[in-house]
A and B are shown apart, each in its own frame.
Chain A
Amino acid sequence: MDIRLDGVSHSYGVTEVLRDVSLDIPSGKIVCIVGPSGCGKSTLLRVLGGLERPTAGNVLQLGQIPQDCLNPMTFIFQDFALLPWRTVRGNVSLVLEDHALPTKEMQSIIDDVLARTKLSDFADALPRQLSGGMKQRVAIARALAVNPAVMLMDEPLSALDSQTRELLMDDLIALWTRTPFTAVYVTHNLAEAVRLGHSIVVLSRRPGQVREIVHLDKPLAERGHGDPELEAHQRHLWGLMRDEAAAADAELLNV
């Protein structure tokens, strides 16, 4: 299933956040969205996931939704959004309980996603017992459980320290290499974008418009930490964003 954004604009009251964003998200690819802070990246993602109604324009799902998909557009949040009163297993089962699955099937889905995210040993732990990286892995497991057509990732690694971020990036790449999934990955971290993105959409400062789309052809599995080719891309992206980011920063000071 592909996703098409068709002339999406959004305003909060008099503040225009997004202006005429058109974008295609091809199936099986990771599209990264980068831009200066406050450029409407997260708003765009919320529009994509149906949590926000755009002021103008449409979000279209093209093609059939896969049969076994329980929740086509599935979010992974920056702050994990785990229920603190449920165990790891309980947090995953939460999103399956409304689907009237046979108990046995539900258990096997949970066991499978916990194994894929290397959480099997922590199934009965409560979120407060887990480190930030583990919490985000639970959130990833929860997202995988509903077999999403598109994963909507809202700065999923921004709340983590840099070592954990590296580890989780490797995990995400391994997950994608095993079974390619479609994802929209919002981040302000250019290093993450060039590591994970098949294409990188650069948004301008508010109101967010598409400035440039950079395509990266190198397979994800071959992209390493400190790859010179990726660093060149990263420099190019920073060149695009630098002035925008500075202007956005100054704008905030004027408010």
Chain B
Amino acid sequence: MSETSPTDHMAQARAVPFRGGGFRPRARRGVGIFVFLALLLFAEWGTRTGFISALTLPRPSDVLQTFGELYQSGLLFKHLVPSLTRLVVGAAMGAAVGISVGVAIGLFSYVRAGLVPLVAAIFPIPKIALLPLFVIWFGIDEGSKYALIAFGTFTPTVVATYAAVDNVDRTLIRMGQSFGLSWWSIVRKIVLPGAMPGILSGLRISLAIAIILLVAAEMLGAEYGIGSYILEAGALYDLERLFAGVVILSVLGIITSALIGAVEKRVLRWRS
């Protein structure tokens, strides 16, 4: 050990390297929009310079123009209104039944034992494959479309709901019992609010699936609807109209996601 004076120590001073931080995504406003715009501008530039041929990708400005025509002719709402009705009715039915069944599976051993294998069996079936069956069962018009969308939303909602109910803190339930709360009070005031985060994140997935199935349902025997509009455009190889339809679906997806986000913000205020 050699004697070193304080100044020698200072000469060897190095800052401790920082190695923390990261792994914590934060909200960055506008980045999402920037990515969208960058992709659109690239497509616009590519199609204008001929770098991307007109057959590969329609020009974004042309798609916008088609969209404008669609709006002006009034056809937009003629397609949008039935589609939205189908989506809302079908998804509401599927989600309502799904949440109820999911809660029942979470609460009752016999329901769980009976239905979990059934749900596992139904889940991987591509619901679109059952559309002909639904047409026979519920008719070629709205009934079969509602049923398809409802059925498609049902399975992911059930799975998310019973997993959420399973994850409710048991000590809170024991607490409720120890204070003599009724069974119904425990379900309503402890189990359901406790499962709400899981149910809502399940609904995000379910509603995206509902939009996919909406299009699938409208591709068979629908005069109006975004699905039939896209199918028609595809059959004619009208890429501008096809993309206009696809954009509508994307916007629909963003809107439902934002809606759930808003509900989460309200209902789950206690979490953040």
Residues of chain A touching chain B, judged by Cβ–Cβ distance below 8 Å, are 49-51, 70-71, 73-75, 77, 79, 81, 83-86, 94-95, 97-98, 126-128, 142, 146, 152
The answer to whether B182 and A98 touch across the interface, beta carbons within 8 angstroms, is yes
User: A74 and B179: CB pair below 8 A?
Assistant: yes
- B270's closest neighbor in chain A, by CB? A85
Q: List 8 A-B contacts (CB under 8 A).
A: A81-B171, A81-B175, A84-B271, A94-B189, A97-B189, A98-B185, A126-B270, A128-B271
B179 neighbours in A (Cβ, 8 Å) = 71, 74-75, 94-95, 142, 146
A75, B179: Cα distance in complex, Å: 8
Known contacts A77-B175, A81-B175; A98/B190 CB under 8 A: no
- Residues from chain A with a CB closer than 8 A to the CB of B17 are none
B 172-227 contacts with A by CB, 8 A = 172, 174-182, 185, 189-190, 193-194
Within 8 A of A (CB), among B159-180: 171-172, 174-180
With both beta carbons as reference points, the residue of chain B lying nearest to A90 in the complex is identified as B189
In contact, B178 and A75 (Cβ under 8 angstroms): yes
User: Judging by beta carbons under 8 Å apart, are B171 and A79 in contact?
Assistant: yes
User: Which chain B residues border A49 with CB–CB below 8 Å?
Assistant: 178
Q: Which residues of B contact A79 (CB under 8 A)?
A: 171
Q: Which residues of A contact B271 (CB under 8 A)?
A: 84, 128
Residue of A nearest to B272 (CB): A128
* Smallest CB separation, B186 vs chain A (Å): 10
User: Across the interface, which residues of A come within 8 angstroms of B182, CB to CB?
Assistant: 98
A84's nearest neighbour on chain B, judged by CB, is B270
How far, in angstroms, from A94 to B194 measured CA to CA in the complex? Answer: 15
For B193, the closest partner residue in chain A by CB is A85
Known contacts: A84-B270, A84-B271, A94-B189. The answer to whether A51 contacts B177 by CB under 8 A is yes
Q: Which residues of B contact A146 (CB under 8 A)?
A: 179
B171 touches A98 (CB 8 A): no
B168 to chain A, nearest CB (A): 11
Q: Is the CB of A98 within 8 A of B177?
A: no
Given A83-B189, A83-B190, A85-B270: A77 and B181 interface contact (C-beta under 8 Å) = no
Bound CA span A126–B177, Å: 22
Contacting pair B193 A77 (CB below 8 A): no
Instruction: Return chain B residues, CB-CB under 8 Å to A128.
Output: 270-271
Residue of A nearest to B197 (CB): A85
Chain B: residues with Cβ within 8 Å of the partner, total of 19
Closest A residue to B175 by beta carbon equals: A81
Give Cα A152–Cα B190 distance, bound, in whole angstroms. 21
A152 to B175, CA, bound (A): 12
Distance A175 CA – B159 CA, assembled complex (angstroms): 47
**A81-B172, A83-B189, A83-B190 known; A51 and B270 CB under 8 Å?**
no
Closest-CB distance, B104 to chain A (whole angstroms): 22
Q: Measured between alpha carbons, how far is A254 from B84 in the docked complex, in Å?
A: 64
Complex: how many Å from CA A146 to CA B179?
A: 8
- In the complex, what distance in Å separates the CA atom of A193 from the CA atom of B190? 33
Nearest-Cβ distance from residue B269 to partner chain A, whole angstroms: 8
Q: Is the CB of A71 within 8 A of B180?
A: yes
Complex-state Cα separation, A95 to B185, whole angstroms: 10
The answer on a CB contact under 8 Å between B175 and A98 is no
Q: Are B174 and A95 in contact (CB under 8 A)?
A: no
- Interface centre among B172, B176, B268, B270, by most chain A C-beta atoms within 10 angstroms, is B270
Chain A residues in 8 Å Cβ range of B181: 94-95, 98
Q: Are A81 and B174 in contact (CB under 8 A)?
A: yes
Q: Do B178 and A51 touch across chains, with their CB atoms under 8 A apart?
A: yes
Given contacts A98-B185, A126-B270, A128-B270, contact A83 B178 (CB under 8 A): no
Q: Which residues of A contact B180 (CB under 8 A)?
A: 70-71, 98
User: What is the chain B residue whose CB lies nearest that of A139?
Assistant: B175
Q: Which residues of B contact A77 (CB under 8 A)?
A: 171, 174-175
CA–CA, A81 and B170, complex, Å: 9
Which of B178, B189, B271 has the most chain A CB atoms closer than 10 A to its own CB?
A: B178
Q: How far is the CB of A219 from chain B (nearest CB, A)?
A: 30
**How far is A229 from B252 in the complex, measured between Cα atoms in Å?**
74
Q: How far is the CA of A51 from the CA of B182 in the complex (A)?
A: 14
Chain B contacts of A50 at CB under 8 A?
Answer: 178
- Which of B172, B177, B185, B270 touches A97 (beta carbons < 8 Å)? B185
- In addition to A50-B178, A77-B175, 17 A-B residue pairs with Cβ atoms within 8 Å of each other are A51-B174, A51-B178, A71-B179, A71-B180, A74-B178, A75-B178, A77-B171, A77-B174, A81-B172, A83-B172, A84-B270, A85-B270, A86-B270, A94-B176, A98-B181, A127-B270, A152-B178
Q: In the complex, which of the residues A50, A77, A81, A152 has the most CB atoms of chain B within 10 Å of its own CB atom?
A: A81
